[in-house]
Chains A and B, each alone.
Chain A
Amino acid sequence: MSTAPLIEVIDLTIQLNTAVGMLEAVRGVNFSVADGKTLGVVGESGCGKSITMLAIMGLLPPDVVISGSIKLRGVELVGMSQRQLAGLRGKRMAMIFQDPMTSLNPVMTVCEQIIEAISIHDRQASQNAKRVRALDLLQLVAIPYPERRLKQYPHELSGGMRQRVMIAIAMANDPELLIADEPTTALDVTVQAQIIELLQRLQRERKMGLMLISHDLGVVAGIADEVAIMYAGRVCEKGPVETVFDRPHHPYTFGLLESLPKIDRTEDQLVAIPGSLPTLSMRPSGCRFHPRCNFAQAICAEADPALETVQDPLTPGVVAACHFAETALYTDQGAGS
């Protein structure tokens, strides 16, 4: 393999074609994932995380305008034909979704759906070989009684089981990159941990690149190497996960961390970020976060800060998009505790 990173997103902008004109869902997003590494992507719903992932997979409808660059091992995916993209999907990059209840086809058995994933990319395989592989895959994702499960329909499985089946389907062709879009949000708390553990194990065994979208900071802290925080269609802070969480440089990251309940704090200190995420058509001027920012100054309403390396010896490799990333007051009160 070449030295090019597994996946590299450069200056990605996504515009939606709507009744009220073109709306920008995502702008100037940059990140990359190396082999065997995990990138956590964090942000409120509607901040553009999912649409970015769908853009990487080439799954956005044709009237969505994508500019910038998405490279899989140096090969440009933006502008690639659907046919070529389909050849990559499920083969070199795979994706699992938020709601396993609705992501499996209700009229196809587990077996049919796994075998489909295999045979799309391997037309030569015999029916028997595919069945054996399907069985192996169910064992890989630790589903008990795999023989029996193969014959069942999705509605006969529990939510956790279904997500395991989704993972098995995603793993069918040993992908280099796995995108997990809030894989545990729809599941019971006890099952959530199992699924995350499973993803982590698979990633280590297979040396996959993993992109985990989540709004659960705890999960991201536990599994990710790097984290990208997104707000209103932009990356506002990105860097090694421990560094970013220990010493945030963007007020939004800080706010997210502050809003977490912590053991050494009493309930009344729980802080929510004021206001709510702006809608697509009503993005504020300047820094998109400034209306909700406790530290906003005059400049924040005028100029949109670029995503730049933070000059802080304590946090190497961190980039943030804030006019006051270096001088900010909040790093001191921050989550250093």
Chain B
Amino acid sequence: MTRFIIRRLISIPLLLLGIVSIAFLISHNTQGDPLASIVSERQMDNPEVVAAAKARWGLDKSLPEQYVLYLRNLITGDLGTSFRTKQGVGKDILERLPATLELVIAAMILGVGSGIVLGVLAARFRNKPIDHAARLWALTGSSTPVFWSGLILLYIFSVVLGWLPGPGRLDPRSVPPEFMTGFLTIDTLLAGDFAAFGDALHHLILPALVLGWTVMGIVSRLVRGSMLDVLSQDYIVAARARGAGELRVLLNHALRNALVPTLTIIGFTFAYLITGAVLTETIFSWPGIGSYAVEAARNLDYPAIIGVTIVGGTAFLLSNLATDIAYAFADPRIRLS
């Protein structure tokens, strides 16, 4: 297994280089002028700014030199300066990362958790109404545009019913907790401010549900399939033969085996969630990377767009790696080989 992990680790830098090269390619061809991706339109007439940008990114040098310079800037964490916020894109992203992670993790817990439950139920009651209902519900989830379901649910639960708060991470009147993890639900708890914790949790519910629903379908479908595979195995009959009850057979024996292949899609799920987060954050005014990317795209803030793309690709790559390693650990047949 060590060899497998090492092989995966070796491929990472190569793929990272690929990601960065694509980003370079995109930025270099922006509007037919690489300068357009570094300097905003309004600053184009300002010779000082243009000259400084050209020097920093080596635009007057040859293409290979530019590429090397681009790489060097990236390695030092320099993703360029956002036209909109006038801050370094790296700094912008770091500030917004916790909000996105909190949302994505909450959505993942909801989506993967409910997907597993649905998948188990569907497999247990195969071809019964509950199976069809679960499949329909899950399929609807992955077919609904989040930017629409978000709006509709926000309208229903916040405007009509008044059960949940409107957009944002916290009520504008409450005081944000001191920054520790950047996860408001955790920071408020650490600060011992339970009112603010409740508020943060309330704000998190709807976007996490909307986002989680999109991956529930993928997870439940996979869990159902592998549960059906597992349930026809001899060791399931053998477990029943030693007196294991229905629940024990389903959870201890079947699900435990079925979850091993399910792990492979966690990485895939992550890609889905990032995609969804971009749009969900926009609807819920969630101050994360997704809404940052959309704002950047709307304002043609090129350094920000390209920066987010690089960071997103990297995160995606790492989550896939983590999934592969987790998979290897979950299956004793692989772990011990």
Contact between B234 and A89, CB atoms less than 8 A apart: no
Chain A residues near B241: list those with CB within 8 A: 57, 59, 89-90, 94-95, 97, 170
Please give 18 more A-B residue pairs, beta carbons under 8 A apart, in addition to A153-B333, A166-B238: A57-B240, A57-B241, A59-B241, A82-B246, A90-B242, A91-B243, A94-B242, A97-B241, A105-B256, A106-B257, A106-B331, A108-B253, A116-B252, A120-B244, A153-B336, A155-B336, A156-B336, A170-B242
Interface residues of B in 62-104 (CB under 8 A from A): none
Contact between B237 and A105, CB atoms less than 8 A apart: no
Chain A residues near B117: list those with CB within 8 A: none
Contact between B240 and A116, CB atoms less than 8 A apart: no
26 A-B contacts, Cβ less than 8 Å apart? A57-B240, A86-B240, A87-B243, A89-B241, A89-B242, A90-B243, A94-B242, A97-B241, A102-B234, A103-B235, A105-B238, A105-B239, A105-B256, A105-B257, A116-B244, A117-B242, A120-B243, A120-B244, A120-B245, A153-B333, A155-B332, A155-B333, A156-B336, A169-B238, A169-B242, A170-B242
A215 to B238, CA, bound (A): 21
Chain A residues near B245: list those with CB within 8 A: 83, 86, 120
Contact between A172 and B235, CB atoms less than 8 A apart: no
**CB contact between B332 and one of A88, A99, A106, A170 (< 8 Å): that residue:** A106
Interface residues of B in 239-268 (CB under 8 A from A): 239-246, 248, 252-253, 256-257, 260
Known: A108-B256, A155-B332. Contact between A103 and B238, CB under 8 A? Answer: yes
A117 to B332, CA, bound (A): 21
| B233 beta carbon closer than 8 Å to chain A | yes
Residue of A87, A88, A106, A172 contacting most chain B CB atoms (<10 Å) = A106
Determine how close the nearest CB of chain B comes to the CB of A171; give it in whole angstroms.
Answer: 11
| A33 beta carbon closer than 8 Å to chain B | no
Determine how close the nearest CB of chain A comes to the CB of B230; give it in whole angstroms.
Answer: 10
Residue of A83, A91, A102, A105 contacting most chain B CB atoms (<10 Å) = A105
Q: Which residues of B are in contact with A by a Cβ distance under 8 Å?
A: 233-235, 237-246, 248, 252-253, 256-257, 260, 330-333, 336
| A121 beta carbon closer than 8 Å to chain B | yes
**CB contact between A104 and one of B238, B243, B336 (< 8 Å): that residue:** B238
A155 to B235, CA, bound (A): 13
| A80 beta carbon closer than 8 Å to chain B | no
Chain B residues near A172: list those with CB within 8 A: 242
Residue of B242, B245, B260, B332 contacting most chain A CB atoms (<10 Å) = B242
A311 to B239, CA, bound (A): 45
A303 to B238, CA, bound (A): 40
| A314 beta carbon closer than 8 Å to chain B | no
Determine how close the nearest CB of chain B comes to the CB of A146; give it in whole angstroms.
Answer: 19
Chain A residues near B248: list those with CB within 8 A: 116, 120
Of all chain B residues, the one with the shortest Cβ separation from A114 is B242
Determine how close the nearest CB of chain B comes to the CB of A109; give it in whole angstroms.
Answer: 8
Contact between B253 and A105, CB atoms less than 8 A apart: yes
Interface residues of A in 68-90 (CB under 8 A from B): 82-83, 86-90
Determine how close the nearest CB of chain A comes to the CB of B124; give it in whole angstroms.
Answer: 12
Size of the A side of the interface (Cβ < 8 Å), in residues, is: 33
Determine how close the nearest CB of chain B comes to the CB of A17; give it in whole angstroms.
Answer: 13
Chain A residues near B239: list those with CB within 8 A: 105, 116
Determine how close the nearest CB of chain B comes to the CB of A259; give it in whole angstroms.
Answer: 29
A148 to B331, CA, bound (A): 20
Contact between A97 and B238, CB atoms less than 8 A apart: yes
Chain B residues near A153: list those with CB within 8 A: 332-333, 336
Contact between A116 and B242, CB atoms less than 8 A apart: yes
Of all chain B residues, the one with the shortest Cβ separation from A95 is B241
Chain B residues near A105: list those with CB within 8 A: 235, 238-239, 253, 256-257
Determine how close the nearest CB of chain B comes to the CB of A334; give it in whole angstroms.
Answer: 38
Of all chain B residues, the one with the shortest Cβ separation from A112 is B252
A 160-180 to B, binary, CB cutoff 8 A, 1 in contact else 0 = 000000100110100000000
Of all chain A residues, the one with the shortest Cβ separation from B337 is A155
Determine how close the nearest CB of chain A comes to the CB of B90; give it in whole angstroms.
Answer: 42
Determine how close the nearest CB of chain B comes to the CB of A101; give it in whole angstroms.
Answer: 9
Contact between B234 and A97, CB atoms less than 8 A apart: yes
A59 to B257, CA, bound (A): 21
Determine how close the nearest CB of chain A comes to the CB of B251; give it in whole angstroms.
Answer: 12
Determine how close the nearest CB of chain A comes to the CB of B330; give it in whole angstroms.
Answer: 8
| A189 beta carbon closer than 8 Å to chain B | no
Contact between A107 and B242, CB atoms less than 8 A apart: no
Chain B residues near A108: list those with CB within 8 A: 253, 256
Contact between B240 and A89, CB atoms less than 8 A apart: yes
Of all chain A residues, the one with the shortest Cβ separation from B246 is A82
Of all chain A residues, the one with the shortest Cβ separation from B240 is A59
Contact between B243 and A89, CB atoms less than 8 A apart: yes
A188 to B290, CA, bound (A): 61
Of all chain A residues, the one with the shortest Cβ separation from B241 is A95
Determine how close the nearest CB of chain B comes to the CB of A66; give it in whole angstroms.
Answer: 16
A169 to B240, CA, bound (A): 12
Interface residues of A in 107-143 (CB under 8 A from B): 107-108, 116-117, 120-121
A108 to B265, CA, bound (A): 23
Contact between A106 and B243, CB atoms less than 8 A apart: no
Determine how close the nearest CB of chain A comes to the CB of B227; give it in whole angstroms.
Answer: 14
Contact between B333 and A106, CB atoms less than 8 A apart: yes
Chain B residues near A107: list those with CB within 8 A: 256-257, 260, 330-332
A170 to B238, CA, bound (A): 10
A59 to B233, CA, bound (A): 13
Interface residues of A in 4-34 (CB under 8 A from B): none
A156 to B234, CA, bound (A): 18
A121 to B241, CA, bound (A): 12
- Interchain residue pairs A-B with the least CB separation, the first 8: A90-B243, A90-B242, A102-B234, A103-B238, A89-B243, A95-B241, A117-B242, A153-B332
Of all chain B residues, the one with the shortest Cβ separation from A53 is B241
Residue of B241, B246, B253, B333 contacting most chain A CB atoms (<10 Å) = B241
